[in-house]
């Protein structure tokens, strides 16, 4: 088990990095990204491997609702991991905007939740 950490410890690290990234300026965000890309990850068991992106995203429960900011931590063609204030407040299905361009809207479904993270599956299968 050398080199492995518990899920609880991993969650604490993820939350700390996400908070630091949220508050960081452009230069510091670049440094955080460089360090994270050098970090060894656990073997991926998903059908579609996730890619680290660490960028801003926006969510809305329905089309036309006011957008709420989130961090897109990593993503794959079929889904993403989001860092949000309160995952329990999210409905089963909602929309995520990966840019402020409305053509980036994806319909998604929550598949797992933790204290600050939300795993989503893209229902539409492709960007709209």
Per-residue pLDDT, 21:
79
For residue 89, is it within any domain?
yes
Q: What is the pLDDT of residue 10?
A: 73
Helix, coil or strand: residue 10: helix
Does the pTM surpass 0.85? The reply is: no
110 in a domain, yes or no?
yes
Identify the band that residue 54 occupies on the pLDDT scale cut at 50, 70 and 90: very high
**Is position 115 within any domain?**
yes
User: Which comes out higher in pLDDT, residue 115 or 34?
Assistant: 115
What value does the mean pLDDT take over residues 121-126? Answer: 81
Flag whether 75 is in a domain: yes
Q: Is residue 112 part of a domain?
A: yes
Domain count, the chain: 1
Phi-psi region of 53 (alpha: psi -120 to 50; beta: other; left: phi over 0): alpha
Look at residue 1 and tell me if it is in a domain: no
C-alpha–C-alpha distance, residues 126 and 72, integer Å: 17
Q: What is the CATH number of the domain that holds 30?
A: 2.40.10
Q: Assess if residue 2 is contained within a domain.
A: no
d(CA 69, CA 59): 6
Q: E-strand spans in the chain?
A: 51-60, 68-76, 79-83, 93-97, 105-113, 117-122
Residue 5: alpha-carbon gap to chain centroid: 21
Distance CA 82, CA 66 (A): 18
* Full domain range(s) for residue 69: 7-122
In tens, the pLDDT along 7-41 reads 776 777 777 777 877 888 877 777 666 666 544 44
pLDDT tens digit sequence for 60-103 = 998 888 999 999 999 999 999 999 998 999 999 999 998 888 88
Examine residue 70 and state whether it is found in any structural domain, yes or no. Answer: yes
The Cα angle at residue 105 between residues 103 and 106, in degrees rounded to 5: 135
């Amino acid at each position: 088990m050398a080199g492995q950490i518990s899920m609880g410890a991993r969650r604490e690290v993820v939350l700390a990095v996400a908070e630091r990234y949220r508050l960081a300026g452009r230069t510091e965000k670049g440094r955080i990204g460089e360090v994270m890309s050098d970090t060894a990850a656990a073997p991926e068991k998903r059908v579609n491997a996730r890619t680290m992106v660490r960028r801003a995203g926006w969510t809305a429960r329905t089309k036309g609702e006011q957008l709420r900011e989130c961090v897109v931590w990593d993503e794959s063609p079929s889904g993403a991991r989001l860092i949000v204030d309160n995952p329990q407040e999210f409905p089963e299905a909602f929309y995520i905007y990966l840019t402020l361009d409305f053509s980036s809207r994806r319909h998604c479904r929550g598949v797992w939740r933790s204290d600050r993270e939300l795993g989503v599956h893209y229902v539409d299968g492709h960007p709209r």
